[in-house]
Structure 1
Amino acid sequence: MYKVNFPVDQSIETAVERRQAAEAARKARIFNTRLRVMGLDLDALNKQTQEKKHREGMERERDKAFDQMRLKHHEALLQRDIEERKVREALHAGLTEYWSIQQRVEDSRDADLKCGMRGAFRINVPEAELGPASMQIFQGEDIGEAQRRREQMKQTQRDLLAQIVQKERRCMEIRHREMLAEKELLQHDLSWRQKLDAEEEGKKAVRVTLDHYNQALAIEQAERLKEADRREARENLAEKWHTLTSAIMTDGWDAAVNRLEEGKPAATDRWKGMSPEQLRAIHREREAQCIERQRWRDVEKNRDAAWNAQLLEASREAQQEESRTSKLRRAKRIQADQFNMQLAKEQEAHQQYLDKELYTNKPTQDFFSQFKTTSR
C-alpha cells in the first residue's frame, strides 16, 4: 500500500499557542505589583508632573534660544548676501571697465570680420620680423584708421557720458520721488498734528467752560443753602419767641377754658397741662398698675421657687441613677475581664496544641516554590 501524508491539523497547535500567550499576559498583569496594588503613588506622580513641567520649560527655552539663533543666522546670511552682491557688483563693474578699456572688439585681429571694418588694425612689430605669411596690412588699405579711431573714441565717450547723464537723471528722479513722498508724509503728519491740536484745544475749551459752569452752579447752590439756613434760623427764632411769649408755656387749666363758651371742651392748642380730675385718674391707674405688678412678681417668685425645687429633686435622682449605672458598668467590666482572661487561656492552650501536637511537620522550600507558577 502506498503511504499517504495527510495534512497536519494546525488548529490544535494554534489554540495551544494562543492559550499560552494569554496565560503569559495574565501572569504579567497579575504578578505586576504596580498594577495589582490598589491606590496611587502621589509622590511619584507629583515628581513625574514636576519633571514633565521642567522638561517642557527646558524645551520652551531651547525653542526660544533656537528661534533667536535662527534670527541671528538669518540676519547674518542677509548681511553676507548683501556684501557678496556688492562685491559681485564691484567685480562686474571693474571687469566691465577692463573689457571696455583693455579688451575692446576694435583692437582684436578679427575686427574686420566682427565690426565690418576693412582690413585689420596695425600691430607694433618690425617688418623685418614678419614673413610672407604674416602680412596683415597691405599698402593702401585702411587709410582712415586714425580718423576712425578718434571717431570711435569720441562715440564711446559720448555713450559713456550719455549713460552717466541717464544714471544721474534716474538717481535725481528717485531722489525727487523720495523727497515728494517725504513731503507728503510730513504734510500728512503736520495735518494730523494740527487736527490733534485743534481737538485738544476744543476739549480744553469745553473743559474750561464746564469748569466755569460747575463753579457757577456751586456758587449758586452755596448761596441757596445759605439763604435756606438763614430762613430756617429766622423761622426757628420766630417759633421760639412765639413759644416763649404765648400762653402754652403756662400749665394752668384756666388758659384752656374758653370764658365765652363754658359748655364746650377746653382748647387744647392753648393748654399744655392737665386738669386735676385727669391727674387724679392717672395717679389711681398708676397705683393699680403697681399693685398688679407686685402681684405678678409674687406669682413669678413662687413659680421660680417651685421650679428650682423640682430641678433640685431631678438632679438628685440623676446623681443616684448615674451612681447605679457606674456600679453596674464596673460589674460588667469585671465580668468581661474575667471572660477575656478565660478566652485568653483557652486560646493559649489551643495555640500550644497547634504548635506542639498538630503542626509538627514544617514545610520545606519546595512547598513555597509551588505557588505563583500559574495565574489560575
Structure 2
Amino acid sequence: MEAALPKDLAQEAALAKRRHAEICRQKRVFDARNRILGGDTEAWDAQVHDQKIKEATEKARHETFAAEMRHNDKIMCILQDRERRDRKNLCKAINDFQQNFQKPETRREFDLSDPLALKKDLPARVSDNDLRNTVSGLQKFMGEDLNFKERKKFQEEQNREWSLQQKREWEQARADHKLAEDFYTQTRLQFDEAARSLQKLESATRRATCAAVKEFNKKQAVASAERKRQERAQEQEDNLAEISGLLSGDLLTENPLQAVSSFGPHRVVPDRWKGMSREQLAEIRLTQKQQVQEKLRCQEEQRLCNMDWDRRRIQKARASLLCDRQQQRLQRGLRKALDCSNLSLAQEQHSRKKYMNDMNTNQLSEDYFTQFNTRSR
C-alpha cells in the first residue's frame, strides 16, 4: 500500500472541489424553472458580501486620507510658526545692523539735513585770500590794499632780480657771439686751405688722365685698323671657299645619293630629293599591274565563296522548314491522344463521383442529437 503524499491529497481535494462545483452548476443550469423564473440567492449573497467588502475598503481608505491630512496640517502649522519666528529674527537683525553700522551721520547727503550745520560752518571771512570772498558776498571791496608794504617790497626785489638777470643774459650773449665769430673765422680759413689743396690735386689728376686716355685711344685705333684688315682678308677667303663648294657640291650636280635617308634605303630626304628615276617608275608600274590582277582574282574568289554560302543557306532553310512541318504533325497527333485520354478520365471521374454520392447519403437519428448538451461548460 502506497503512502499518500500531501501533494496528492491537495490535488484530490482540489479535484473533489471542482467536481462538487460542477454538479452544483449543472443543477442551476439544467433546472429550467430556476434558470427562467427564479433567482440565484447565492450569487446575490456573494454580490452583497463583495459590496460590503468594497465599502469597508473605501471607508478605510478615506480614514487613511483623513489621518494623513491631519498630519500634514500639523506639519504646516509648525512650518508657519518657524517661518514667523525666522522673519521676526531677521527684522531684528536688520534693525540692529542699521543702528550700529548705518547711522545718519555716515550718509552721503547728511550735510543737507544736519541740525548742527550752522555751528560747524566757517565764518563769513577768514582772511583777504579767502576764496569765498566773492563780489556778491560784500566781504571785500575794490581799493582795499591791506598788504601794500609787503607787496611793494616784493615788487622792488623782483625788479632788481629781473635787472640782474637781464645783465647776465646780455653778457653771456656777447661772449657766445664772439666765440661763434672766432670759430667761424677759423673754420673758414681751414676750408679755404683744403679747397686750394684739392684744386691742385684735381688739376694734376686731370692732366694725367688726359695723357692716359690719349695713349689708349691711339692704341685702340691701331688695333681696330689691324682687325678690319684681317676681317676683310678672312671674308675674301670664305667667299672663295663657298663658291668652290657650291660648284662641286651635290646641289648643283644633282647627286641622287644625297637624298638617301639615314632611316633606310626606302626613305628619302624631302628637301634633297630630285625625283624618281626611270627604273623606279617602271618598277612601280609593274607593281601596280600585279596588284590589279591580284585584286581581280580575290574578287572572283569572293564571288564564288558567296555563291557557295547562298546555296548552303537555301538548303539549310529548306531542311528547317521540313523539320518544322514534321514537328507540327507530331504535336497534332500528341494533342489528339491527350484529348482522348482526358475525356476518358473525365468520364471515369464523373461515374466515381456519382457512385460516392449514392453511397454517402443517409438519415439523422436520435442518437446524433443526444450526444450534445451533456455538460455545463
Highest relative contact order (Cα 8 Å, sep 6+), 1 or 2? 2
Q: TM-score, normalised by structure 2?
A: 0.31
Structure (1 or 2) with the larger CA radius of gyration: 2
